[in-house]
Amino acid sequence: MKKKAKILMLVGALLPLLLFVFPLWKITLEAPQYPTPLGMFIHINDFSDANPHDIKNINLMNHYVGMKYIPEAIPEFKIFPAGILITTFIGLLIAWKANHKWYLYWFILMVVLSSAGLYDFYLWEHDYGHDLDPKAIMKFTNPDGSVMGFQPPLFGSKDILNFTAHSYPQLGAVSLGIGMGLSLLAYLFVRKENKKLKIS
């Protein structure tokens, strides 16, 4: 059973590497004039078009309300890949050498780091949606008189003016989640096994 758990931990530690292959997140913008919605994939090291020129066209749309252009690169594109490589390395060490309790520690580490990543993503989205050009062509206010923001949702769907924005995790994020799940599972397996041994 411990061997099985070890394999689970090993696979769990490797799965986040798929983030280098598959996108982390996708934001999709639907509007009547866009029968093919505009879309942007967020990778751990890049933004990319869902269809050719989508980011350019999102920028063109957003300039009307004074939103900044989506940057070519952000610091996170360096930090996230390093984070994934380091935690994978740690995970592999744990799978190879360490006690099953370390599986749990690795899981907790990943939860903390992922949450930090999500929070960082939220901050970027907030800034992107609220830091508007004062010379914006169109200025909208909320019913309470405050300046309307155009922040896309972190998770889920939301109507923003004529657009419906969808924001959902992609295969990369799913791989990370499953990887983390496997490490927790590995920990629980061993713990259960140990309890059985103690009883018997």
Partner 1 sequence: MLALIATTMLLVSCNQGGNSSNGALSSSAAEKVYVAPGEHDEFYAFVSGGFSGQLSVYGLPSGRLFKVIPVFSQDAEKAWGYNEETKPMLNTSHGFIPWDDSHHPDISQTNGELDGRFVFINGNNTPRIAKIDLSVFETTEIIEIPNSAGNHSSAFVTENTEYVVAGTRFSVPIPQRDMPINEYKGNFQGSLSFISVDPEDGGMDLSFQVLMPGFDYDLAHPGRGASHGWMFFSTYNSEESHSLMEVNASQNDKDFIAAVNWKKAEEYIKEGKFQTMPANYAHNVYDEETHTATSTMKKEVRVLDASELPGLVYLLPTPKSPHGCDVDPTGEYIVGNGKLSSDLTVHSFSKMIQAIENEKFDGEAYGIPILSFEDVLAGSVKQAGLGPLHTEFDGNGNGYTTFFISSEVVKWKVGTWEVVDRQPCYYSVGHLMIPGGNSRKPFGKYVLAMNKITKDRYLPTGPEVTQSAQLYDISGEKMELLLDFPTVGEPHYAAGIAADLVKERSKKIYNLEENKHKYATTSDANVKVERNGNEVHVYMTMIRSHFNPDNIEGIKVGDKVYFHVTNLEQDYDVPHGVSMIGANTSELLIMPGQTETFVWEPKQVGVWPFYCTDFCSALHQEMQGYVRVSPASSNIELSWSLGED
**Contacts (CB under 8 A) with partner 1, residues 32-51:** 36
Closer Cβ to partner 1, 21 or 138, answer by number: 138
- Return the residue of 45, 57, 114, 170 that touches partner 1, per CB under 8 A: 57
Structure tokens at 163: 């657009």
Give the shortest CB-53-to-partner 1 separation in angstroms: 4
Among 49, 31, 47, smallest CA distance to 165 is for 31
Closer Cβ to partner 1, 36 or 142, answer by number: 36
- Return the residue of 2, 4, 53, 158 that touches partner 1, per CB under 8 A: 53
- 47 within 8 A of 54, measured Cβ to Cβ: no
Give the x/- contact pattern for partner 1 in 93-122, rule: CB under 8 A: ------------------------------
60 is an interface residue for partner 1 by CB under 8 A: yes
Closer Cβ to partner 1, 36 or 146, answer by number: 36
Closer Cβ to partner 1, 54 or 125, answer by number: 54
Give the angle subtended at the CA of 74 by the CAs of 147 and 167, to the nearest 5°. Answer: 60
**Contacts (CB under 8 A) with partner 1, residues 125-144:** 137-138
Identity (one letter) of the amino acid at 22? F
b/e per residue 177-189 (b: at least 16 CB within 10 A): ebbbebbbbbbeb
Structure tokens at 67: 């939103």
Helix (H) or strand (E) holding 31: strand 25-31
170 is an interface residue for partner 1 by CB under 8 A: no
| DSSP per-residue letters across 41-87 | EE-SS-EEESSTTHHHHHHHHHGGGTPPPPPS--THHHHHHHHHHHH
Give the shortest CB-61-to-partner 1 separation in angstroms: 9
Q: Cα 3 to the chain's mean position, in Å?
A: 31
Residue ranges binding partner 1 (CB under 8 A): 36, 52-53, 56-57, 60, 64, 137-138
